[in-house]
Structure 1
Amino acid sequence: MTSDVSTPLNAIVDATAAAIAEDAARAQVVFRASGTPEGTVGSSISLGQYTIRIDEPPVLGGAGSAPNPVEAYLAALISCQVVTYRFWAQRLGIVVDDLTIEAEGDLDVRGFFGLDDTVRPGFGAVRVQVRLHGPETADRYRELQKAVDAHCPVLDLTTNPTPVTTTLITA
């Protein structure tokens, strides 16, 4: 997986650092998404040139034709962890031969359905399990985990409050 700890990821970090040193405004990036209803409770989400579909299982009113929103969140968390492990392994010169990440979250649907306002509508807990193998010591892999946990954007979205402003526009 990352047995070569030189480039290309380190080159990307170096080029980005140089561009930001030249103009700090280059550090700011805006990501956009938009969505429209599809089916009974599904959505079609546009992400630039990509479209993803989100649905719910039949027990929650959907057709089960696509992952549901919280599964999409778990996918985003896992994929961000994978990217961050790869970047930081190269930055720290840590060889990782194999990487597998699993995540699961506990959700009490009473919060979503408004059956109990004391229950959060989102995950009450999320567990991430990272399996990596390679020639490094356990201490080096713990160093890598610490760097990933400190720099993974989607993990940060979950572990730290993020201001969200919702604007309603009516016709």
Structure 2
Amino acid sequence: MFRTSLSRTATRAVRTLSTSATKSSSIPLRICGRGTGTQQTITIKDKPYSIQTDTYPVLGGADSAPSPVAYSLASLTSCNQVTGAKVAEDHGIKLGQWNVRLDAVLPTDVLIKGKCEGNPNWESVKLFVRVQTNILESVKGDNLEADARFRHFVREVERRCPITQLFKRSGVQYESEWLNEAL
């Protein structure tokens, strides 16, 4: 009965995603998964691509594709870059190469061992970002002004990035370290 109510609510809330991007107040998505065992193929409505997932052997998988937990971290790194591109556009900043690394710790007591107590969420996530910008050039070599402008850029990216906010608001120990490199 709980599934039926949840299912009806979820069905009513889903809208199809247009194939053309528009500036609207929301971006509705429909994602479907189909698979057996630990492997799944995920499709996005009206898109020509799909995503393959599997998991680690310790969870019964064949490690034939990235795991859902790896995709969650990949979403965090790439969402920061996508959001950064939008923030840079809004603030007149030119960007070049992004180099992003992420280190995370996932506790396994609940997920693998099935313990009743604990949290299966990430224990800690640390994002390292090196991004080329024209900020130093745009402030004519004023390092203090460049630092302030870059810190503002980073704060805006992290504030506006939905995946960063998902991680931060989930209670995970979240840290990030950003480095401004000359374009």
Superposed counterparts of 1:119-138, under 5 Å: 119-136=118-135, 137-138=146-147
Q: Which amino acid aligns with 2:58?
A: V
Contact 1:111 1:122 in 2 (8 A): no
Q: TM-score, normalised by structure 1?
A: 0.72
Is 1:145 the counterpart of 2:154? The answer is yes
What is the TM-score with the length of structure 2 in the denominator?
A: 0.68
Mapped to 1, the partners of 2:50 and 2:38 lie a distance apart of 17
Corresponding residue number in structure 1 for 2:8: none
Asked if 1 retains the 8 angstrom alpha-carbon contact of 2:54 and 2:68, the reply is: yes
Amino acid at match of 1:31: L
Q: 1:28 aligns to what SS in structure 2?
A: coil
Q: CA deviation at 1:33?
A: 0.8
Q: Which residue number in structure 2 is paired with residue 59 of structure 1? A: 58
Partner of 1:29: 27
Could you tell me which residue of structure 1 aligns to residue 166 of structure 2? Answer: 157
| Bigger strand fraction | 2
Moved over 4 A (4+): none
User: What is the match of residue 15 of structure 2?
Assistant: none
- AA paired with 1:41? T
TM-fit CA distance, 1:114: 4.3
CA contact (8 A) 2:57 2:63 kept: yes
1:47 aligned to 2:44? Answer: yes
> 1:114, 1:31 → 2: CA distance?
33
Structure 2 residues without counterparts, runs of 5 or longer: 1-21, 136-145, 171-183
Work out whether residues 59 and 112 of structure 2, in 8 Å CA contact, stay in contact via their aligned partners in 1: no
8 Å Cα contact 1:112/1:122 also seen in 2? no
Deviation for aligned residue 1:110: 1.2
Q: Deviation at 1:95?
A: 2.6
- CA deviation after TM superposition for structure 1 residue 69, in Å: 0.6
SS in 2 for 1:73: helix
Query: How much does 1:87 deviate?
Result: 0.9
Contact 1:43 1:55 in 2 (8 A): yes
Deviation at 1:150, TM superposition (A): 0.7
Deviation, 1:120, is 1.2
Count of residue correspondences? 138
Q: Deviations over 1:37-69 (max 9, x none)?
A: 23x311111112231111012232111110001
Alpha-carbon distance in structure 2 between the residues aligned to 1:85 and 1:98: 12
State the SS of the aligned residue for 2:95.
coil
SS of 1:111's partner is: coil
- Paired with 2:156 and 2:63, the residues of 1 have a C-alpha distance of 37
Partner of 1:21: none
Residue segments in structure 1 that go unaligned for 5+ positions in a row: 1-14, 17-25, 162-171
Paired residue secondary structure (1:70) = helix
